[in-house]
């Protein structure tokens, strides 16, 4: 892998850096704010315009965020604007939220040697144009598998964010702030970055090689390292599941000891936990890719489509076919009514409708047992 730094070609002496934020339909406000705020604070602390930025949309019209709020951009991608950095801000239902127009514009920016970035699910848009081929790329754990499956030339990693030559990509939530602070340190020095951290009451800038970690795995690593090692092996081998005896031997324990560990700390058998991981992955692929049900079954280690469908219905509550139909149906549900007067869709209602395409939608019912286990491990740790 090439050195993970912003390229020297993108360190400029002339001020300010001109940054364009391409807002994709259904983008997340948290990611946008986490990306812009470090730039604003850099200007404030230096009392100079180190960075300028503009919000862009496909056509210059307002863009709906994932929470239903609408944001007015500063212009459209058709405007003849020049940028040093362009960052794609993605969000929910990403596979149906952008068009070839945005992709073509980003390809033009790449030809002009603009530093390209992506936050949240924005990497999908860059990857669609071949702009991440041969690059290392970070993405939220929820869409990591589908991104790698759809774009095999992209080297997806589980890192919080990745700075690879003239590309910057990161996961979701507030991680964009870490990525932008790292970029600012490269461009203007660590003293400024430290001052920005003080203003945001942020104790440190997380490094790009820090990995995404779920609460359960974090607790397992601390409390039960052998169990954490086994679950990591399971997650890395979903297409061709490893036999329990082999898993146990990898971590130097017997199968019986392995089963006792799972029953004591996760309240389930190793086989059931492994099945849950495979079904989680299947749900991601059904919601985020166009792979056939047979292909999804094979990629998740099921011997046949009927066996996969039976397991899916038993543990998820609906069949894979119903899951796929629900996600890809273009029919919109009618908004709720209030008495005899039809109510306008609220922002919360719109956000919930958009969330139907996300693998985590409704997952609390399926993962409630895991949540209880997290609490149990936390209490015992």
Is the domain of 152 the same as that of 187? yes
Question: Which residues on adjacent β-strands are paired with residue 55?
Answer: 21
Per-residue pLDDT of the chain (381 residues; tens, 9 = 90+): 333 445 555 555 557 999 999 999 999 999 999 999 999 999 999 988 999 999 999 999 999 999 888 999 999 999 989 999 999 999 988 888 999 999 999 999 999 999 999 999 999 999 999 999 999 999 887 778 788 888 999 998 889 999 999 999 998 888 999 999 999 999 999 999 999 999 999 888 988 888 876 555 555 655 678 888 898 899 889 999 999 999 999 999 999 999 998 988 888 899 999 999 999 889 888 887 888 999 999 999 999 999 999 999 988 888 999 888 876 664 444 444 444 334 445 545 555 555 565 655 555 444 444 445 545 554 554
Domain-located, residue 277: yes
Look up tokens 């992955």; give the residue: 281
Is the domain of 118 the same as that of 220? no
Domain span at residue 157 reads 8-199
Question: Which residues on adjacent β-strands are paired with residue 19?
Answer: 53, 85
The CATH number of whichever domain residue 223 belongs to comes to 1.10.10.60
C-alpha span between 277 and 287 (Å, rounded):
16
DSSP state of 201: T
Is the domain of 146 the same as that of 246? no
Determine the straight-line distance between the first and last CA of the chain, rounded to whole angstroms. Answer: 37
Is the domain of 84 the same as that of 32? yes
Domain count, the chain: 2
Domain-located, residue 1: no
Is the domain of 121 the same as that of 65? yes
Domain-located, residue 326: yes
C-alpha span between 372 and 377 (Å, rounded):
9
Domain-located, residue 205: no
Q: Is the peptide bond before 222 cis (omega within 30 degrees of 0)?
A: no
Domain-located, residue 207: no
Is the domain of 255 the same as that of 118? no
pTM: 0.69
C-alpha span between 356 and 259 (Å, rounded):
36
| Structure token pair of residue 219 | 């607790």
The CATH number of whichever domain residue 141 belongs to comes to 3.40.50.880
Is the domain of 192 the same as that of 220? no
Domain-located, residue 144: yes
C-alpha span between 86 and 76 (Å, rounded):
13
C-alpha pair distances (Å), 115 with each of 8, 134, 169, 365: 11, 16, 11, 42
Domain-located, residue 209: no
Is the domain of 129 the same as that of 182? yes
Is the domain of 36 the same as that of 154? yes
Domain-located, residue 206: no
């Amino acid at each position: 892998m090439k050195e993970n730094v912003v390229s020297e070609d993108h360190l400029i002496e002339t001020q300010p850096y001109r940054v364009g934020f391409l807002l994709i339909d259904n983008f997340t406000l948290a990611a946008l704010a986490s990306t812009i705020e470090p730039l604003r604070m850099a200007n404030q602390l230096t009392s100079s315009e180190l960075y300028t930025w503009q919000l862009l949309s496909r056509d210059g019209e307002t863009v709906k965020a994932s929470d239903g709020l609408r944001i007015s951009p500063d212009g459209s991608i058709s405007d003849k604007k020049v940028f040093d950095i362009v960052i794609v801000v993605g969000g929910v239902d990403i596979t149906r939220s952008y068009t070839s127009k945005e992709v073509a514009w980003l390809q033009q920016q790449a030809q002009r040697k603009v530093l390209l970035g992506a936050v949240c699910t924005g990497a999908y848009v860059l990857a669609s144009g071949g702009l991440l081929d041969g690059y290392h790329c970070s993405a939220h754990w929820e869409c990591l598998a589908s991104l790698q499956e759809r774009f095999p030339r992209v080297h997806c990693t589980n890192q919080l964010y990745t700075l690879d030559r003239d590309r910057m990509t990161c996961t979701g939530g507030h991680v964009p702030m870490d990525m932008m602070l790292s970029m600012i340190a490269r461009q203007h020095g660590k003293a400024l970055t430290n001052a920005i951290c003080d203003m945001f009451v942020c104790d440190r800038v997380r490094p790009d090689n820090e990995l995404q970690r779920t609460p359960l795995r974090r607790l397992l690593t601390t409390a039960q390292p052998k169990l954490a090692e086994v679950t990591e092996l399971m997650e890395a081998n979903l297409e061709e599941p490893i036999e329990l005896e082999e898993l146990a031997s990898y971590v130097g324990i017997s199968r019986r000891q392995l089963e006792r560990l799972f029953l004591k700390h996760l309240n389930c058998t190793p086989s059931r936990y492994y099945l849950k991981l495979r079904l989680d992955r299947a749900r991601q692929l059904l919601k985020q890719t166009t792979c056939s049900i047979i292909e999804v079954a094979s990629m998740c280690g099921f011997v046949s489509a009927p066996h996969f469908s039976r397991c899916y219905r038993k543990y998820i509550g609906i069949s894979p076919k119903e899951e796929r139909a629900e996600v890809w149906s273009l029919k919109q549900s009618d908004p709720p009514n209030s008495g005899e007067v039809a109510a306008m869709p609220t922002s919360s209602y719109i956000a919930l409708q958009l969330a139907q395409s996300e693998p985590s939608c409704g997952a609390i019912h399926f993962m409630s047992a895991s949540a209880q286990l997290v609490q149990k491990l936390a209490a015992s740790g």
